[in-house]
Amino acid sequence: MRSSIGLKLGSLTLDVPFFQASLSGYSDYAMRTLARRFGCPFTMADMILDKSATNPRVLRKACFRPGADEHPIGAQIVGKTPATMAAAARALVAAGYDLMDLNFACPVPKVLHRGRGGALLDDPDTIIDIFKAVRNAIACPVLMKLRIGFDHESRSLDYFWEIVTRSIEQGVDALVIHGRTVSERYRGKADWDLPAAVKSRFPHATIVGSGDIFDAAATVELMKKTGLDGFVVARGAVGNPWIYRDLRCVWENRPIPPPPDLAEQRLVMLEHFERILQCYPEYKAVRRFRKFMVGYARRHPERKSAQMSLMSAKTRAEVETGIDTWYTNARCGTKG
């Protein structure tokens, strides 16, 4: 399955055909650096509103600046005004980001109600105007994140193909296509046939798939079936950095290691929590780590009990004690 080049995103070349998506509320410095340690070659920062990115006071905050140890790194912006999106892209490149991703896929109601994200899939002209404005403003690669339409009406499908065709004609470096409509949000199963049809119609364009990447071996089958250039990992990486290790093994034709036992899970969870504590005050770090604890607990043989206990922690000491309690040597004899 391996080729000499994993994935090419404009001037950026990855050695494997996958990277970590921008995950709103998740993909901070802690998650990104952990992903890199487990074999992910490239990560996207958390989505940022274009108006926020143009505010120097916002970009001076450590949480919005890329770390010196995590290049290459991409930024994802969401907005609806071409000039503001272009200004945001310039500011983010100046802050140190190596790639720009334009979000026309977000299905969150508060984003849609303001005419941003996936709402723009019903407005191809504005999407293309935004892309051209950003493309003219910066020199680094520019990607576009799409869904397969706002809904399943024929008009949405027509708009989708118009956006795909025009953006490729305008020189987009890659299209990242999530195989659900905006109205579906994350319900049901992602449709990879339509992204595959895009790749078939535009074989020279870089088309990256998104949606339901949870299993490394199954991902290889998706690559064979669809002929896509690559894929992004999103929800499948929450509380599961091992997915990058497994994906890299599959791509490089190496055996996938056994799943991590509870002892290894304990060490990684403590490492992740420590990375978060370095970025946020304790009370914020605890709240932020709760979202990841749900993902980590999925591997535990006593999932519900472990999750309920961990989620009740309110301080650093309680989080660390909870992890030690549920991932002790005594419990490590149980399958992880």
Q: What is the pLDDT of residues 73-106, one digit of tens each?
A: 999 999 999 999 999 999 999 999 999 999 999 9
Rounded mean pLDDT of 122-144?
A: 98
Instruction: Report residue 332's pLDDT band, with 50, 70 and 90 as the boundaries.
Output: low
Each residue of 247-270: pLDDT tens digit? 999 999 999 999 999 999 999 999
Residue 333 has pLDDT above 60, yes or no: no
Residues 121 and 159 sit within 8 Å (Cβ to Cβ): yes
**Residue 100 burial class via C-beta count within 10 angstroms: exposed 0-12, middle 13-18, buried 19 and up:** buried
Both 52 and 189 in one domain: the answer is yes
- Tell me the CATH number at 16: 3.20.20.70
317 band by pLDDT with thresholds 50, 70 and 90: very high
Give the residue from 227, 251, 275 where a domain finishes. 251
Q: Which residues contact 186 (CB under 8 A, 6 or more apart)?
A: 107, 180, 235
Q: Which residue type occupies 169?
A: E
Q: CA gyration radius for the chain?
A: 20
Whether 271 is covered by a domain: the verdict is yes
**Is residue 2 in some structural domain?**
no
Judgement on whether residues 164 and 303 belong to the same structural domain of the protein? no
- Residues 139, 271, single domain; the answer is no
Quick check: 17 pLDDT over 60? yes
Q: What share of the chain is helix, strand, coil (3-state, %, to 5)?
A: 50, 15, 40
* Average pLDDT score over residue span 6-16: 95
179 falls in which pLDDT band (50, 70, 90)?
A: very high
Together in a domain, 43 and 153: yes
With cut-offs at 50, 70 and 90, classify the pLDDT of residue 61.
Answer: confident
Q: 156-166 pLDDT, tens per residue?
A: 999 999 999 99
- Residue 14, pLDDT > 70, answer yes
| Number of domains present in the structure of the chain | 2
Give the whole-angstrom CA distance, residue 113 versus residue 118.
10
The answer on 221 and 89 residing in a single domain is yes
Confidence of residue 60 (pLDDT cuts 50, 70, 90): confident
Q: Per residue in 264-309, pLDDT tens? A: 999 999 999 999 999 999 999 999 999 999 999 999 999 999 999 9
Same domain, 303 and 222: no
What's the pLDDT at 335? 43
The predicted model gives 49-53 an average pLDDT of 96
The CA distance from 225 to 213, in Å, is 15
How many CB atoms neighbour CB 325 within 10 A? 13
Per-residue pLDDT at 326 exceeds 60: yes
According to DSSP, residue 235 is labeled: G
Length of the chain: 336
On whether both 328 and 198 belong to a single domain, the answer is no
Boundaries of domain holding 81: 7-251
Long-range contacts of 209-213 (CB under 8 A, 24+ apart): 209/176, 209/177, 209/179, 210/21, 210/145, 210/176, 210/177, 210/178, 210/179, 210/234, 211/178, 211/179, 211/180, 212/179, 212/236, 213/18, 213/243
Question: How far apart are the C-alpha atoms of 78 and 103, rounded to whole Å?
Answer: 5
HSE (CB half, 13 Å, CA atoms) of 113? 3
Mark whether 19 and 110 lie in a shared domain.
yes
Average pLDDT over residues 211-231: 89
pLDDT for res 223: 80
- The whole-number pLDDT of residue 4 equals 52
Would you place residue 6 in the very low, low, confident or very high pLDDT band (cuts 50, 70, 90)?
Answer: confident
How does residue 136 score in pLDDT terms, banded at 50, 70 and 90?
very high
Q: Which residue among 218, 251, 284 closes a domain? A: 251
| Residue after which a domain boundary falls, among 228, 251, 274 | 251
Do 73 and 115 lie in a common domain?
Answer: yes
Q: Label residue 222 by pLDDT band (50, 70, 90).
A: confident
